[in-house]
Structure 1
């Protein structure tokens, strides 16, 4: 290689190395969470690529340049060959799960999907039905095709009478694939919004994907739809023989009273019957979740009084409240979407004291990202005294919205380091109400909830 090109290559790599070192020192590197599969893939790619070029070349610099040029091709090749046994294993697991499900003929399966509220609705419905039946539910956010198949194989047995299945999706066809495994008879559609818009490609695709659950129901099945959601109403198409319960029309709530640590309302049915509901759940958004779950419970024979009594015992659903000496933590860090953020901010507004929100920017919103973050910023500006955004993406849009609705610019910051966030909060001596929204750094939760921090 001519000396000139060697010098060019040397300085290019020197600059990239220096830049990487600078980011590392400034703690701006973002390290991925390595799974076992990722570690194996990374090792194979680096080893095989490097070994290949060292075999055929004697000049180190040429090898380095070619390594960069052909790295993508090698990564693709290694991933392809590693995926072959993975795909085969996945198909085996799914087919085995289908056979096991088919063998339990009397099992009633309830599928729950939606852009938000599906986990809370699942937990509430499980609590209701457990008063009368032997019930299995999918755990946490194990709502993918392989996750549901795993639950069928590991936990489902012939003693179970009801299986409550949360169904998630990142593209069309994934909810139908889950339905092909479990064969739901009842489908609950909680809501549709713009969550994962970048992955689906359009709002229309999101609507079609969520309605795969309803389309998979048998003719004698039941669809429970949140009729208060505009996109659910837009996407619904009548299906011959399918019964439909519409939340907001066939079952609705009156006299809603949302307090800091309780929620009460009157649940009314279309036939004129009603019952008073009281629960310790936090947040007005749980009214819809309870109504959706109640529709499923009524279908399986629970009475209104049984549901009302069961509501008193619901716990560990939605926002978790932790009290400390001079602050309260409202933990809603399970996930985040636009509807959830807005609802949690409304709940935060019930408290007195310094209201603080800590949250990352939302992801996978595609072309509407800027608009959504400005709206969230506007709501933050109306309610919060301090806002800390933990990721840089769209921080400027949140800032613009917050300042536009009256928040001082110095009261909203981008801080990614958990220690710095904790110091900023600790500097406020007044009583603080801290809302953790979305996937905030785990270390920050340790500092706030477990007091694992030394000044």
Structure 2
């Protein structure tokens, strides 16, 4: 970490420092919320969760080397300094904001209804060709994850890519105040979190809260193929930079060819320059993600050679459009999350593969009052893109109706049908909201095929 003293931390969060006065000048080595990750010099965040209260582990953390704790209530056995606050979660946001302000580097904030993580990983691959780049790990994109991501930036960080996920109004404002992005990237405005956001206009309003708290002279890189984002003509006195598959965008693509497991080949076009790439991933949407990264790379001074190398260095993460070839079938493991926009994109990807196409789909959560219609419409689309549709979950009854496919209440009851329908040479898409635990289906398929 950059030097960050206990005195600075207490001042940043408005907490009460309790301990030896001379230790106020101690610099922390890391910020941890998990007692198992404590190192010598760590600052421990005592956060009360649904099942575990971090306050119960303060003494253990002190014994493991923590130099200080941020907590809502004092430790029972005071061994080392602590900072007393009204809310540890609110405190860590303020601490992260203060730490971010120690860096005068490009920080890219990434959001959108679909493609946040894959775009973040593409940006990381590209920017790493020139900079020592820091990125969001895993799913640390919320009001705790974003501060922890900022606070884990090494001292020698030269650029950062921060994923910012929200589900309600006001959340993006709070995240953006911490991140203060120098480049704002928005992917797609889709149908997600509609229980809180109402409709796509609400989603757009919530996502674009990022703009208000962007750094001075920030750039804004938006998907021009998205009808909502394409309407934005001015942000903080600047014209947005648009990317997308359409040639009306400043950054667009030509000669797109899907090669299944061989990736997607295309020509990326940027301000009159063109270069050919092979993206090591599946789906046309990855071309759009690559264009976003190229646009940001151009802003930050990367050469075309660096841009090409970065795009071709992309790696998928987790259960996001990950192709597993068992030798008998191909599994598209895309079960990290789902909404109508992302499911349709995955079905488009499925349709690019040779042979029979099987879609195993599940409930899409947080879609609000239109959830049944959205499931039905997704089912209709699934029928047009696949040979067999198997749907699982209460909401997916409507998906099954739209697809004229088989419906099952849970994964266990669906397994016999999955086994009977899938044949050697098939490609199987597995996708649902994360809470549906469709990773169990992926493991079942791997074990049986």
Q: Aligned-pair distance for 1:87? A: 6.3
The equivalent of 2:146 in structure 1 is 148
Give unmatched runs, 5+ long, in structure 1.
Answer: 1-34, 42-80, 404-410
Between the aligned partners of 2:86 and 2:390, the Cα distance in structure 1 is 41
Number of residue pairs matched?
A: 363
The equivalent of 1:76 in structure 2 is none
Provide the aligned C-alpha RMSD in A. Answer: 2.4
Give unmatched runs, 5+ long, in structure 2.
Answer: 1-46, 54-72, 74-83
**Structure 1 residues 353 and 150, CA gap change in structure 2 (3 angstroms):** same
The equivalent of 1:14 in structure 2 is none
Kindly report structure 1 stretches of 4+ aligned residues shifted beyond 6 Å.
Answer: none
Between the aligned partners of 2:280 and 2:52, the Cα distance in structure 1 is 46
Between the aligned partners of 2:153 and 2:390, the Cα distance in structure 1 is 43
The equivalent of 1:435 in structure 2 is 429
Q: Aligned-pair distance for 1:252? A: 0.8
**Structure 1 residues 428 and 228, CA gap change in structure 2 (3 angstroms):** closer
Please identify the structure whose Cα radius of gyration is greater: 1
Under a length normalisation based on structure 2, what TM-score does the superposition of the two structures give? 0.75
- Conserved in 1, the CA contact under 8 Å of 2:361 and 2:430? yes
Matching residue within 301, 309, 321 for 1:319: 321
The equivalent of 2:361 in structure 1 is 359
The equivalent of 2:378 in structure 1 is 376
The equivalent of 1:266 in structure 2 is 267
The equivalent of 1:109 in structure 2 is 107
Between the aligned partners of 1:203 and 1:349, the Cα distance in structure 2 is 26
Between the aligned partners of 1:330 and 1:339, the Cα distance in structure 2 is 17
Q: Aligned-pair distance for 1:400? A: 2.6
**Structure 1 residues 220 and 202, CA gap change in structure 2 (3 angstroms):** same
Deviations 1:265-297 (A, max 9, x none): 111123x11111212211111111111111111
Alignment of 1:131-280 (within 5 A): 131-153=129-151, 155-234=152-231, 236=232, 238-248=234-244, 249-261=249-261, 262-270=263-271, 272-280=272-280
- Conserved in 2, the CA contact under 8 Å of 1:388 and 1:415? no
The equivalent of 1:54 in structure 2 is none
Under a length normalisation based on structure 1, what TM-score does the superposition of the two structures give? 0.74
Q: Aligned-pair distance for 1:243? A: 4.8
Between the aligned partners of 2:422 and 2:134, the Cα distance in structure 1 is 46
Between the aligned partners of 1:116 and 1:323, the Cα distance in structure 2 is 25
Between the aligned partners of 1:87 and 1:354, the Cα distance in structure 2 is 58
Between the aligned partners of 1:239 and 1:352, the Cα distance in structure 2 is 44
Between the aligned partners of 2:96 and 2:422, the Cα distance in structure 1 is 55
The equivalent of 1:307 in structure 2 is 307
Q: Secondary structure at the match of 2:93?
A: helix
Q: Aligned-pair distance for 1:90? A: 0.9
The equivalent of 1:426 in structure 2 is 419
